[in-house]
């Protein structure tokens, strides 16, 4: 256990993170609030997390010298995004506590291995992935069952926020999409009749203790999370319990340590289907900073440092709006500042900007969380904020 503000090896306890984006920035804030020093490794010298950490190492994630420096500075190390090289985490784990484990990150980085893990867990949880087929060769392409079409072709690696995906309706479209992706390993998922999407964030300690945050109801637009709603009865109680139980089963079967998010589809007939997992805090959990007594980043710090994991409690209804780069441009494409003053005048509005120097369409620049005593009041203020910012209502 690494206690806050304790001296380890004659120096203040320090927590490290691979990755300098907004998730790393919020982890650094949470670590510093407990008195830890922090060190960030990221290739971008202007990274949001690197700019606020006590120490910043600008280097590639595979740079051996940089990894040695990170291990020398930090007593325990985590990651803030799923595509950090798993081998870098494995190298760091030779001398330092690392959470999540490299083996778990490697599974989350590969949709084929991820689907296989979900299928194994389904025997206990009853929550399976969508019907799918693995495509790694022309022979696999020819053998795809017709029942999987129409479907969504997803690259097995390096896909996020809708990238590396293509919707296909026919065998000809499937073949064209696979070749356009370069013939890389892919997964074809059957297109299912969706009613909505949700996600569950859990934290698991090295001692096997697991705590869960409330189930988040999510709306995506263009493959990017747009709105998260979390309040009592935002989803049926039975569905909430099933999603949380399935997520705990997934994390336990992995032997995971750290914070993990699992995303689900809810079908029109009410069935729950597991979609994918992220071995880190998640965009849909940002509301926890304002609406819960322990945020997902507090939990990430605690799992990394070996501190106790009490069950987090939500004290306010919450709706979170993602703030993408297009909000920084007017209808003619000219740069502008969004109208923050009237937004911040709304009751319960909490603005979080990530310190990114350049806005561009689709880039996550920040988020707005609206909290309040009940779902109706929060929804009213969130819709007012969306109208002010030019975000489509939901």
55-70 confidence digits (pLDDT tens): 999 999 999 999 999 9
Structure tokens at 137: 């060769």
Contact 23, 79 (CB under 8 A): no
pLDDT recorded at residue 4: 84
136 labelled ligand-binding: no
Helices (H) and strands (E) in the chain, counts: 12, 20
Contact 231, 374 (CB under 8 A): yes
318-346 confidence digits (pLDDT tens): 999 999 999 999 999 999 999 999 999 99
pLDDT recorded at residue 9: 73
Contact 367, 360 (CB under 8 A): no
Q: How large a percentage of the chain has pLDDT more than 70?
A: 99
For 211-236, letters b (16+ CB in 10 Å) and e give: bbbbbbbbeeeeebbbbbbbbeebbe
190 labelled ligand-binding: yes
220 labelled ligand-binding: yes
163 labelled ligand-binding: yes
Rg (CA), the chain: 21
22 labelled ligand-binding: no
- Give the torsion sign (CA, 167, 171, 172, 175): positive
Q: What is the mean pLDDT of residues 117-142?
A: 97
Q: Given a cut of 90, is residue 82 above it in pLDDT?
A: no
Query: Between the CA of residue 286 and those of 273, 366, 389, what are the distances in Å?
Result: 23, 10, 19
356 labelled ligand-binding: no
Q: Using CA atoms, how far apart are residues 141 and 174, in angstroms rounded to an integer?
A: 8
161 labelled ligand-binding: yes
Query: Between the CA of residue 252 and those of 51, 241, 383, what are the distances in Å?
Result: 35, 16, 38
pLDDT recorded at residue 10: 73
Q: Using CA atoms, how far apart are residues 45 and 29, in angstroms rounded to an integer?
A: 18
148 labelled ligand-binding: no
171 labelled ligand-binding: no
Q: How large a percentage of the chain has pLDDT more than 90?
A: 93
Closest by CA to 74, choosing from 11, 26, 3, is 11
275 labelled ligand-binding: yes
276 labelled ligand-binding: yes
pLDDT bin (cut points 50, 70, 90) of residue 162 is: low
154 labelled ligand-binding: yes
pLDDT recorded at residue 114: 98
Q: Given a cut of 90, is residue 26 above it in pLDDT?
A: yes
DSSP label of 148: G
Could you say which architecture CATH assigns to the domain 7-98? 3-Layer(aba) Sandwich (3.40)
Closest by CA to 256, choosing from 268, 245, 247, is 247
pLDDT bin (cut points 50, 70, 90) of residue 161 is: low
DSSP label of 329: B
Q: Which residue has the tokens 């005593």?
A: 373
191 labelled ligand-binding: yes
* CATH number among 3.30.420.40, 3.30.470.20, 2.30.110.10, 3.40.640.10, domain 194-389: 3.30.470.20
257-291 confidence digits (pLDDT tens): 999 999 999 999 999 999 999 999 999 999 999 99
73 labelled ligand-binding: no
226-249 confidence digits (pLDDT tens): 999 999 999 999 999 999 999 999
Q: How high does pLDDT run on average in the chain?
A: 96
Q: Given a cut of 90, is residue 33 above it in pLDDT?
A: yes
State the pairing for strand pair 55-58/37-42.
parallel
Contact 48, 26 (CB under 8 A): no
164 labelled ligand-binding: yes
Contact 329, 389 (CB under 8 A): no
Q: Given a cut of 80, is residue 163 above it in pLDDT?
A: no
Domain chopping of the chain, boundaries: 7-98, 131-190, 194-389
CATH C-level class of 131-190: alpha beta
């Amino acid at each position: 256990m690494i206690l806050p503000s304790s001296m380890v090896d004659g120096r203040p306890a320090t927590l490290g993170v691979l990755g300098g984006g907004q998730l790393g920035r919020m982890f650094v804030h949470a670590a510093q609030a407990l008195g830890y020093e922090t060190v960030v490794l990221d290739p971008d010298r202007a990274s949001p997390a690197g700019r606020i950490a006590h120490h910043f190492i600008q280097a590639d994630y595979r740079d051996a010298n940089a990894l040695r420096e990170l291990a020398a500075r930090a007593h325990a190390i985590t990651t803030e995004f799923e595509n950090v090289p798993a081998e870098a985490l494995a190298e760091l784990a030779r001398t330092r506590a690392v959470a999540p484990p490299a083996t778990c990150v490697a599974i989350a980085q590969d949709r084929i291995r991820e689907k296989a893990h979900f299928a194994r867990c389904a025997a206990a949880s009853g929550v399976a992935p969508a019907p799918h087929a693995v495509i790694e060769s022309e022979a696999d392409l020819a053998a795809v069952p017709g029942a999987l079409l129409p479907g969504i072709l997803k690259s097995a690696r390096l896909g996020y926020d809708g990238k590396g995906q293509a919707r296909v309706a026919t065998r000809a479209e499937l073949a064209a999409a696979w070749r356009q992706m370069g013939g890389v390993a892919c997964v074809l998922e059957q297109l299912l009749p969706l009613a909505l999407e949700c996600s569950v964030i859990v934290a698991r300690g090295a001692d096997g203790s697991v705590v869960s945050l409330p189930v988040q109801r999510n709306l995506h637009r263009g493959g990017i999370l747009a709105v998260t709603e979390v309040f009592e009865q935002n989803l049926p109680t039975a569905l909430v319990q099933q999603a949380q139980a399935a997520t705990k089963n997934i994390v336990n079967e992995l032997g995971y340590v750290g914070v993990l998010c699992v995303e689900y589809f809810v079908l029109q007939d009410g069935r729950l289907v597991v979609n994918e997992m992220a071995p880190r805090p998640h965009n849909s959990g940002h509301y926890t900073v304002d609406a819960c007594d322990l945020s997902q980043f507090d939990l990430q710090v605690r799992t990394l440092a070996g501190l106790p994991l009490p069950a987090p409690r939500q004290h306010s209804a919450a709706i979170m709006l993602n703030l993408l780069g297009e909000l920084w441009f007017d209808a003619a494409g000219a740069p502008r500042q969004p109208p923050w003053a009237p937004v911040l005048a709304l009751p319960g509005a909490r603005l979080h900007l990530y310190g990114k120097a350049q806005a561009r369409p689709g880039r996550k620049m920040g988020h707005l969380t609206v909290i309040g005593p009940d779902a109706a009041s929060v929804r009213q203020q969130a819709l007012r904020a969306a109208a002010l910012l030019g975000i489509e209502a939901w």
